[in-house]
Amino acid sequence: MIIDCSGLGLARAMSPRLCVTNKDNVRWGEDSSFDQVISVGIVAYYHSVGAARAGRAGKRPLIIRARGVTGPGPWYPVVAPGDLARMKQVDRAWDALKRCQVAFIQ
């Protein structure tokens, strides 16, 4: 999965999450192994969709455009509720969140 935050001023975070426009927060990575989180991180940060496809996200990822960023710093992408529903559907099929196959475009 790719969350495209280009042009929104997203900064990197140690424990990233998604925020939904209705104010719900979505976290993941808690079920991932410690070694996996340390070696690859919960998300990967890229500067282009092409780089994310060549890296962690794969050739045909779900791409979501963030609506903004929020948090104590500009760390958390904000997505629409409908986009979150699409992400959950993909996650049920591929277990992408647990496997930390999420990329943020800065």
This prediction has a pTM of 0.88
Are the C-beta atoms of residues 60 and 1 closer than 8 Å to each other? no
| C-alpha to C-alpha distance for 70 and 102, rounded to whole angstroms | 18
**What is the model's pLDDT at position 42?**
85
pLDDT at 65 over 80: yes
Distant-in-sequence, close-in-space partners of 39: CB < 8 Å, separation ≥ 6: none
pLDDT tens, position by position, 76-106: 999 999 999 999 899 888 888 877 889 999 9
Domain limits for position 25: 2-105
Six token digits for residue 35: 């070694």
Average pLDDT, the chain: 88
* The pLDDT of residue 101: 87
Domain count, the chain: 1
Whole-number Å distance between alpha carbons of 94 and 75: 25
Residue 28 has pLDDT above 70, yes or no: no
Of the candidates 20, 15, 14, 25, the one whose C-alpha atom is nearest the C-alpha of residue 68 is: 20
pLDDT for 27 equals 66
